[in-house]
Each structure stands twice: as C-alpha cells, then as structure tokens.
Structure 1
Amino acid sequence: MKIIVGLGNPGPKYAGNRHNIGFMAVDALHRRHAFGPWTRKFKAEISEGELAGEKVLLLKPQTFMNLSGEAVGEAVRFYKLAPGDIIAIYDELDLAPGRARLKTGGGHGGHNGIKSLDAHCGKDYRRLRLGIGHPGAKELVNNHVLGDFAKADAVWLEPLLDALADNAEMLVRAEDSQLLNKLALATGAPAEPDAPARPKPPAPPSAPKPAGKSHIRQARPDVPKMLPTTGPMADMLKRMFAKKDGD
C-alpha cells in the first residue's frame, strides 16, 4: 500500500494558494482515477483507490501545514507502513514554476509541512516537489506562498497537474525519470537542472614586449660592445683618437 499525501492548508480561504499545490495535485489524481469519495479520518481527508495494481490512499491533512505530520503519522501507524510507502507532494520555492523534482529523503528546505513529516514519519519517504518560483526577496516569501496563483499561471499549472494525473501509475511504480520527463514535456520546462556553465580557464599572461625596440632588435640578442685592445685595429684606433685629441 502507498500513501500519496498532498500538503496544503484546509478551507476555501487557502484553496487557490501556491502553498496548496500539493492539495491540487492529489485532487487531480482523485478526479482522474477510480478513487472512492473523500471521508474524514486520521485528522485528514482520505480516499482509497488503486493505481498500478497497488492499493493507494490519497490523503490531505486538515491540521494546517505546520502539523501535517500528525495526520500522516496516524495513517502510517494504522496501516503499519514504512516511510518508503509515503509519497509527499508539495510546493517548492527554489524551483521555477512548472518544474518538478522527485527524490527519496533529503532536507526540509525550510518547508514547515516537510519539517512536520520528518518529525512524525522519519525522512526516508519520497518527495515530489512542484516549483512555484521565488519572489526574489525573503520578506516577500510569506505573501507569495500564501497568495493565489495568478491567471497567467494556468498556462503551466493545468498541464502540470493533468500530466501528473495521467501518469500517476509511474509515480506509484517509482519510475521517477520517466515521470519527470512527462511533466517536463507537458509544461515545456527542462526535466533536469540546467548544467552550470563551466568557466573558461584564464589565458596565460603574455610576456611583455620590450619597449622602444623594433621587431628586428627583438629577434636579435643584445651583444656587449667590446673595443679591441691589441692588433692592427687597436693601433688604428689609438692613432685616430690621438689625432683628435691633438686638434
């Protein structure tokens, strides 16, 4: 059995919030597949069904985001499941809108819902993070996550949720790379992180050119100028300078 939990805040006030994309994803799965009606149990709304030949419990905690782990923990203990049987779907500030990442374990990244799941269920559960983008400044984060999606976001949000619902069996079978490719194709977002550009190694410094010399002089080493002290040439030079001194 698998538990697919979408994280969000209960009530109509929060229904369209970016922070509630986990609820929206689970609702999309519920609409697309043969799940039973929503009922209340484990401090959550739950619905039972089957995907990829396996029993699946859809779960939306009704405890508010910061206490999401209480609901999931109760369900895990009731069904005697392990952390690896949990799939959590939630919003991710550090991913661009429309991008998705899927992994097992990891840190909470400051997400209060994930902090609560870690505390009640351990960390070794699967995490499907759906990007909502970052507003650009820390002081804007709260209003961003608790603000509603804009109408323009429908361009990527609806295809993302539809693709996730269409390929939900891949999620249950842990066909992670295939699922991420499907989501990327639906939204036009890259399936994998962009490879960072490798900086080019700096060019070696060129040797400075000697100032005030032609290219001919540069190609020819300077030779110390030596005057002969013996021989015919020396005698001639002595006579020349002696004559000049006597003028």
Structure 2
Amino acid sequence: MKVIVGLGNPGSEYAHTRHNIGFEVIDLLSNQFGISLTKTKFNALFGKGTVDGQELLLVKPLTYMNASGEAIGPLLHFFKLSAEDLLVIQDDMDLPVGKIRLRQKGSAGGHNGIKSLIQHVKTQEFARIKVGIGHPQHTHDAVVRYVLQGFSADEQMDIDSAMERASKAARAWMTLPFAQVMNTYNANK
C-alpha cells in the first residue's frame, strides 16, 4: 500500500489558500482516481482505493499544518507502513508560483508541517513533491498573511498547471523508482 498525504489546514476559511496546495492536489487526485475521501480516523480525512494495481490511501491531516505528523504517524503505524510508502505534497515559498520540485529526503527547511512529520514519522527520508507558491518580500507577519491568501488571477493558470504536474508525478511514484520520477519531473521546466 502507498500513502499520498497533502498538507494543509482544515476549514473553509483556509480553502484555496497558498498553504493548502497539498489539500488541493489531494482533491485533484481524488477526482482523477475516483477515490472519495470519506473516512475519518487518526485526526485525518482519507480514502482508500486501487490505482494501477496498487493499493492507495489519499490523506488530508485534520490537525492543522503545524501538527500534521500527529495524524500521519499513527496512520502509518495502524496500516503497518513505513516512510518508504509515503509521499507528501507540500507548499514551498522558496519556489516560484507554478514550479514543482521533487525530493527524496531532507530537512524541514522551515516548513512546520514537514517538521511535525519528521518528528512523528521519526525520519527525514520520505518522498516529497513541493509546489511553489512564491515568497513575499516582507517581514515574518507578511509571510503568515501571504500563505493564507489565495492566488491572483494571473497566478492561477500557473498553479493549476503545477497541480496537474504534481498529480502526474504522484501517480508515477506509485509504480516507478522515485529517482526516475524525480529525473523526469525536476527536469520538466
């Protein structure tokens, strides 16, 4: 079984914000794969199905971004899965809007959702798809406001394209070595 987790914050006030791009990609995958997110357990909303002969869980933690690991750690334990079975889709302020970057492992890089996952999964070695949301050129308070804003009309086409590429990369991860998926999608400008 494989697990794809999208990071975000629950609640309508956070829907379609920059910080919720992980949730947006999970919604896209849910529609593409016909997997409804109807189960709630471990403080996560998830759905289970089979895609390309592979059992798959699509997951949205309901813990808020900064505590994402509190949901994912117990979920992996319950299903007897390891970090090798995990793909996380996250926002990344260090990438321009609409760019994606795949990483096989690494530190949190200042992302509190990833920091929580590392703490609860007890390793930095899990696959990630980072979706660029851009970065404001201001203070910390501006960063907090920025990630909780939606995308401008000019940015929306780029972000839609990035979400589509992220969904294709996630599907490829299910059946191909992640190094091969990284070579394909990191090279795709």
TM-score by length of 2: 0.90
Q: CA contact under 8 A between 1:66 and 1:116: conserved in structure 2? A: yes
Q: 2:184 — aligned with what? A: 178
Q: Which runs of 4+ in 1 moved over 6 A?
A: none
Distance 1:57 1:128 in 2: 16
Q: 1:197 — aligned with what? A: none
How many residues in Structure 1 have an aligned counterpart in Structure 2?
Answer: 183
Q: 1:130 — aligned with what? A: 131
Q: 1:159 — aligned with what? A: 161
CA spacing shift, 1:135–1:51, aligned 2, 3 Å:
same
Q: CA contact under 8 A between 1:51 and 1:168: conserved in structure 2? A: no
Distance 1:50 1:151 in 2: 35
Correspondences of 1:205-220 after superposition (within 5 Å): none
Q: Deviations over 1:84-107 (max 9, x none)?
A: 111110000111111111112111
Distance 2:83 2:170 in 1: 19
CA spacing shift, 1:127–1:165, aligned 2, 3 Å:
closer
Q: Deviations over 1:13-54 (max 9, x none)?
A: 000110000000111000111214422112110011223321
Distance 1:55 1:49 in 2: 6
Partner of 1:9, secondary structure, is coil
Q: CA contact under 8 A between 2:129 and 2:166: conserved in structure 1? A: no
Q: CA contact under 8 A between 1:8 and 1:22: conserved in structure 2? A: yes
Does 2:16 align with 1:10?
no
Q: CA contact under 8 A between 2:100 and 2:166: conserved in structure 1? A: no
Deviates more, 1:138-147 or 1:107-116: 138-147
Distance 2:93 2:8 in 1: 14
Does 2:99 align with 1:99?
yes
Q: 2:76 — aligned with what? A: 76
Q: CA contact under 8 A between 1:170 and 1:178: conserved in structure 2? A: no
Deviates more, 1:148-157 or 1:60-69: 148-157
Which residue type is aligned with residue 72 of structure 1? I
Root-mean-square deviation over aligned CA pairs: 1.5
CA spacing shift, 1:31–1:145, aligned 2, 3 Å:
same
Q: CA contact under 8 A between 1:35 and 1:48: conserved in structure 2? A: yes
1:81 deviation in Å?
1.0
Higher relative contact order (CA 8 A, sep 6+): 2
In structure 1, the gaps of 5 or more residues are 185-189, 191-247
In structure 2, the gaps of 5 or more residues are none
1:177 deviation in Å?
2.0
1:159 deviation in Å?
1.9
Partner of 2:10, secondary structure, is coil
Q: Deviations over 1:125-171 (max 9, x none)?
A: 11111111111123321111111122222111112223333454212
Q: Which has the larger radius of gyration?
A: 1
Q: CA contact under 8 A between 1:68 and 1:113: conserved in structure 2? A: yes
Which residue type is aligned with residue 81 of structure 2? L
Q: CA contact under 8 A between 1:3 and 1:56: conserved in structure 2? A: yes
